[in-house]
């Protein structure tokens, strides 16, 4: 282990839309950090902030105190953890901040336990804006002692909460995505209803803000819809993946969640043409359903 008692050395795996600002904040907080990404070029800018950009996964994780992963999906997390296993040693802590299935998190924990490596699943909410600002909601699943060890790192990134044993973080994240996805879809429908009914959608949004309909979704994504700004933040493909995981979790628990099933269909309908667009592009799905009416929100050109 090459970090200090105050600042453990971190191996950060996955330097994408979310991983880059998260790793940047840890570097700004003074943590020694090695960065690794399959496409190495994405990680290279972190070198200017003091990161060691590793050429191989072995170089990134061997001897680190804490390994943090921020990857696309559960199967990728399992693949990467399997690849790094030979280079991990007893006493290390692995924190996966990706969004996966609960069962995948438990599988990873079991893989690591065989090498006496601790594990926390800690998915986040807040998007690229929250990652850059250090205001992410962090939902952690794991042992209390492991959470306390990780808490100083988490507080650099946002607001952490231990919600239960390993896998619980993923369940909490799915609950978050259920609410976020449903609200995005409802805001899209409200915007289009205002347009179709002859009201000014921007004025409608302003009028209802501060009332019971107020939300971060109405604030941020409502404005994105008005601007027709679908440049990627939280992407459609991520919402579609998360909603598939939500429905799987509900099925395993024996629950029926009909509204979420409809929202899942809405996001799935956008995968072919707009997979990498921001989730505010839910508006496009609602407009397409109503294309025979010729109703379109605003006059701005779409931006992707």
Q: What phi and psi values does residue 221 have, to the nearest 5 degrees?
A: -80, -30
- Which pairing describes strands 66-69 and 10-13: parallel, antiparallel, or unpaired? parallel
Across the strands, what pairs with 121? 96, 141
From the CB of residue 89, how many other CB atoms can be counted at a distance below 10 Å? 13
Q: How does pLDDT run across 18-67, given as a tens digit for each residue? A: 999 999 999 999 999 999 999 999 999 999 999 999 999 999 999 999 99
Tell me the two tokens of residue 145.
């002692």
Tell me the two tokens of residue 60.
């990134």
Per-residue pLDDT band for 293 (boundaries 50, 70, 90) equals very high
What's this model's pTM, rounded to 2 decimal places?
Answer: 0.84
**Domains of the chain from N-terminus onward:** 10-166 (3.40.50.720), 171-293 (1.10.1040.10)
Q: How does pLDDT run across 129-182, given as a tens digit for each residue? A: 899 999 999 999 999 999 999 999 999 999 999 999 999 999 999 999 999 999
Tell me the two tokens of residue 171.
């369940």
Residues noted as catalytic:
173
Query: How far apart, in whole angstroms, are the C-alpha atoms of residue 102 and residue 79?
Result: 16
**Shortest CA distance to 74 belongs to which of 287, 263, 277, 245?**
245
Q: Are 247 and 257 contacting, i.e. CB atoms less than 8 angstroms apart?
A: yes
Query: DSSP alpha helices (H): ranges in 62-101?
Result: 74-84
Query: How far apart, in whole angstroms, are the C-alpha atoms of residue 170 and residue 89?
Result: 25
pLDDT for residue 126: 87
- Which pairing describes strands 136-141 and 10-13: parallel, antiparallel, or unpaired? unpaired
Query: How far apart, in whole angstroms, are the C-alpha atoms of residue 147 and residue 18?
Result: 21
């Amino acid at each position: 282990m090459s970090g200090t008692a105050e600042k453990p050395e971190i191996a950060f795996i996955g330097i994408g839309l979310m991983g880059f600002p998260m790793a940047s904040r840890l570097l700004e907080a003074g943590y020694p950090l090695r960065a690794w990404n399959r496409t190495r070029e994405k990680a290279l800018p972190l070198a200017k902030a003091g990161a060691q950009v590793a050429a191989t996964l072995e170089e990134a994780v061997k001897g680190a105190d804490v390994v943090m992963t921020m990857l696309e999906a559960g199967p990728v997390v399992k693949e990467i953890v399997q690849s790094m296993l030979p280079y991990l040693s007893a006493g290390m802590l692995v924190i996966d901040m990706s969004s996966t299935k609960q069962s995948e998190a438990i599988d990873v924990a079991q893989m690591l336990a065989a090498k006496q490596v601790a594990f926390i699943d800690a998915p986040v909410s807040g998007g690229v804006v929250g990652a850059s600002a250090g205001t992410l909601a962090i939902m952690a699943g794991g042992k209390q002692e492991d959470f306390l060890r990780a808490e100083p790192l988490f507080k650099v990134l946002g607001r952490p909460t231990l919600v239960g044993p390993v896998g619980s973080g993923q369940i909490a994240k799915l609950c978050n995505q259920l609410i976020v996805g449903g609200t995005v879809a409802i805001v899209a429908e409200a915007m289009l209803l205002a347009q179709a009914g002859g009201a000014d959608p921007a004025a409608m949004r302003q009028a209802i803000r501060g009332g019971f309909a107020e939300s971060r979704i109405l604030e941020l994504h409502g404005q994105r819809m008005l601007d027709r700004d679908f440049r990627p933040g939280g992407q459609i493909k991520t919402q579609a993946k998360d909603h598939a995981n939500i429905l799987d979790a509900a099925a395993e628990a024996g629950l029926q969640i009909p509204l979420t099933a409809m929202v899942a269909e809405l996001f799935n309908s956008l995968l072919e043409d707009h997979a990498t667009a921001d989730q505010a592009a839910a508006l496009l799905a609602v407009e397409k359903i109503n294309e025979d009416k010729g109703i379109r929100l605003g006059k701005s050109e779409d931006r992707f």
